[in-house]
Amino acid sequence: MDRTRDTFFALLVLVGLWEICALLLDSMALPEPWIVLLDIIAALAGGNLLDDLAISAVRALLGLLLAVAAAVPLGLAIGAEKPLRKRLSPFIYLLYPIPHVVLLPLIIILFGIGNLSKIFLIALIVFFQILVTTRDAATNINRNYYYSMQTLGASRLQVYRHVILPACLPKILTALRISVGTSVAILFFVESFATTRGLGYRIMDSWGRADYVALYTGICSMALLGFTLYLILDRLERRICRWNRTG
């Protein structure tokens, strides 16, 4: 509860700063927060803001889920199995640092200009972030945990289930939390073309029409989306990694 209150207070401070800047600047490009708030309410009630929010949320979530589903098992295996690590780490080393956004043309050729390529690009970029963190976490598990399992007669699969996965979960969830920011940024990028739906489109569209209030409505909605995803992951981490806060 303390945290909720502190977060709310921080939000008030930020909005207050916004208000001060808006008053000082006195520019069309920075409307006052209450005007934006009214526009958000109007867009929620009458317009299709909720639709845009929903479609953006689905794109981001599917991208994240796809990335996790692929990166976590692969990262765990590469980290924990020495031969795999030896063979596959060089590929990660080469492929991770390249800016995957530039693959967009190729992805569009392969998957078309619809939702699939948007989701795929988000997934691709987040995939590498999660993969590298997961691999590193799985590489650095203390040897004694493995010995403990061995003395209890565990199979390899049981070692994954009882040691490797739980030991890496806190790091995976932290990486995922960081990836939320990335996924929303990519979302903005992929929604700025070849679509008429989503918050990214909303932002680009109102920018083009020089409708600054609508622009800020889009920006705030996107921020809200990012924050909500972050919050969900934060809760999830507190839940599954309760042990991590005790030691």
Partner 1 sequence: MITVHSVNLSFAHNGATLPVLRDISFHLESEDYCAIIGPSGCGKTSLLFLLAGLLQPDSGTIDITGSPRSGTILQNFGLFPWKTVSQNIALGLVLQKRPPHEVRRRVDSLLEEMGLSGFGEHFPGQLSGGMQQRVALARALAIEPDILFMDEPLSSLDALTRERLQNLIVDIRQAKGISTVLVTHSIEEAVFLGRTIIVLSGRPGRVLQIIDNPDADTDNFRQSDTFFQRCIAVRQILAGEVDGPHA
Q: Which stretch binds partner 1 (CB under 8 A): 158-166, 194-202, 211-219, 225-233?
A: 158-166
When asked if residue 239 is in the footprint of partner 1 (CB under 8 A), the reply is no
CB of 134 to partner 1, least distance (A): 16
Query: Comparing C-alpha atoms, which of 93, 179, 189, 182 is closest to residue 136?
Result: 93
Query: Considering only residues 8, 9, 34, 243, which one is a binding residue for partner 1 as defined by CB under 8 A?
Result: 243
When asked if residue 241 is in the footprint of partner 1 (CB under 8 A), the reply is yes
Neighbours of 182 (CB within 10 A): 17
The two tokens of residue 181 are 């920011």
Query: Considering only residues 40, 49, 104, 163, which one is a binding residue for partner 1 as defined by CB under 8 A?
Result: 163
When asked if residue 156 is in the footprint of partner 1 (CB under 8 A), the reply is no
Q: Which stretch binds partner 1 (CB under 8 A): 45-53, 103-111, 138-146, 200-208?
A: 138-146
By rule CB under 8 A, what count of residues binds partner 1?
A: 23
- CA–CA distance, 126 with 67 (Å, rounded to integer): 6
CB of 120 to partner 1, least distance (A): 33
- 72-101 b/e (C-beta count within 10 Å ≥ 16 → b): bebbbbbbbeeeebeebeeebeeeeeeebe
The two tokens of residue 185 are 């940024």
When asked if residue 192 is in the footprint of partner 1 (CB under 8 A), the reply is no
- CA–CA distance, 107 with 128 (Å, rounded to integer): 16
- CA–CA distance, 19 with 226 (Å, rounded to integer): 22
When asked if residue 140 is in the footprint of partner 1 (CB under 8 A), the reply is no
- 128 contacts 66 by C-beta, under 8 angstroms: no
When asked if residue 145 is in the footprint of partner 1 (CB under 8 A), the reply is yes
Query: Comparing C-alpha atoms, which of 83, 34, 3, 88 is closest to residue 220?
Result: 34
Query: Considering only residues 154, 178, 219, 236, which one is a binding residue for partner 1 as defined by CB under 8 A?
Result: 154
Q: Which stretch binds partner 1 (CB under 8 A): 2-10, 165-173, 185-193, 209-217?
A: 165-173
Query: Considering only residues 94, 196, 239, 246, which one is a binding residue for partner 1 as defined by CB under 8 A?
Result: 246
Whole-number Cα distances in Å, 51 to 25, 72, 180: 33, 31, 20
Query: Considering only residues 44, 61, 70, 166, which one is a binding residue for partner 1 as defined by CB under 8 A?
Result: 166
- 233 contacts 214 by C-beta, under 8 angstroms: no
When asked if residue 174 is in the footprint of partner 1 (CB under 8 A), the reply is no
Chain residues binding partner 1 by CB under 8 A are 142, 144-145, 147-148, 150-155, 158, 162-163, 166-167, 169, 241-244, 246-247
